[in-house]
Amino acid sequence: MTPRSDKPVIGVGGVVIRDGRVLLIRRGKEPFKGEWSIPGGHLEWGETIEQAVVRELHEETGLEVRVGELLEVVERIDSLEDGGGGGAAPPGSSPPFHYIILDYFCEAATGVPQAGGDAAEVSWATETELARYQLTEATLRVIRRAFTLARSRV
């Protein structure tokens, strides 16, 4: 698990939809090892948010992307008391991590998706296949928003 900090960590994610499918990654490292999610990671010092999205998607999927609209800002606070289920930490507890994640709609420019960086696996999923991946409610909400945006551009 990522070492606890006394400040929230800023994360970024990129939702890529191609031919009616969304690109997902299975996390290969803690936190959330083994879970399916949107590709992304931490903002690095001195890096713009857009640079972080481009870097993280390239590291985890091998894709070069163009960053589009902000889909949602997601806050994830997990505590040992809630079994890592998310939400606010109970009063008096010390959450092991607190993320503020900015998820963006992205267009794949070049590359063939392959797992790299913190990703153990990549997969394309249609909207009806999302239940198979046991995504968090927040992740599902962001992906559905991206599908709606993608359909409006056709």
- The 10s digit of each residue's pLDDT in 27-55 is 999 888 999 999 999 999 999 999 999 99
Residue 65 pLDDT greater than 60, yes or no: yes
Give the least confident one: 3-12, 109-118, 128-137. Answer: 3-12
Alpha-carbon gap, residue 154 to 142, rounded angstroms: 19
Residues 6+ apart with CB under 8 A from 85: 78
Q: What is the pTM of this model?
A: 0.87
pLDDT band (50, 70, 90) for residue 95: low
8 Å CB contact between 138 and 77: no
Determine the average pLDDT of the residues in 1-7.
Answer: 61
Q: How many domains does the chain have?
A: 1
On whether residue 4 sits in a domain, the answer given is: no
Element at 146 (helix H, strand E): helix 137-152
Dump the DSSP string for 30-86: SSSTT-EE-SEEEPPTT--HHHHHHHHHHHHH--EEEEEEEEEEEEEEE-GGGTT--
Residue 35: the pLDDT is: 95
What are the backbone dihedrals phi and psi of residue 109, each rounded to the nearest 5 degrees, phi first? Answer: -90, -50
Host domain of residue 148: 9-152
Residue 75: the pLDDT is: 94
On whether residue 1 sits in a domain, the answer given is: no
Where residue 43 sits, what CATH number does that domain have? 3.90.79.10
Tell me what the pLDDT averaged over the chain comes to. Answer: 89
Q: Which residues are catalytic?
A: 121
